[in-house]
């Protein structure tokens, strides 16, 4: 299928980029750093640097299980493909819905 382009939307996006560039240039001319309103954007990077050590420790313990997880994912992919090809996936889906509690189904 061919993707259609909305020229009006593309023009608006370019205008917004130009406006942001002009705003940054004005702030530099005033002696301000252009990223002054984006100082809050630094917080996720600080949090990730603090949590990085714990993640690496967890990942080091998980590393031996990666081949097992890859094989299980491959088997699951083959099973789902076979179910779709034989039109039995609908049966599996209806079975899973029958196991779902009513209070969850009412929220959907």
Interval 90-102 mean pLDDT: 85
Q: How far apart are CA 97 and CA 34, in angstroms?
A: 53
Q: Which of 20, 23, 1 is nearest to 12 (CA)?
A: 20
pLDDT tens, 35-56? 555 556 677 788 888 888 888 8
Q: How far apart are CA 84 and CA 98, in angstroms?
A: 19
Task: Specify whether the CB–CB gap between 95 and 87 falls below 8 A.
Answer: no
**pLDDT bracket for residue 32 (50, 70, 90):** low
Task: Specify whether the CB–CB gap between 89 and 83 falls below 8 A.
Answer: yes
- Tell the burial category of 54 from Cβ atoms under 10 Å away from its Cβ (0-12, 13-18, 19+): exposed
pTM: 0.44
């Amino acid at each position: 299928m061919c993707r259609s382009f909305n020229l009006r939307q593309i023009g608006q996006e370019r205008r917004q980029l130009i406006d942001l560039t002009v705003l940054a240039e004005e702030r530099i001319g005033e002696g301000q750093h252009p990223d002054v309103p984006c100082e809050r954007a630094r917080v996720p990077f600080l949090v990730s640097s603090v949590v990085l050590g714990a993640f690496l420790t967890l990942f080091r313990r998980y590393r031996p299980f990666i081949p097992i997880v890859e094989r299980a994912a491959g088997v699951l992919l083959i099973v789902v493909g076979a179910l779709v090809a034989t039109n039995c996936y609908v049966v599996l889906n209806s079975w899973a819905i029958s196991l779902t509690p009513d209070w969850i189904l009412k929220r959907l």
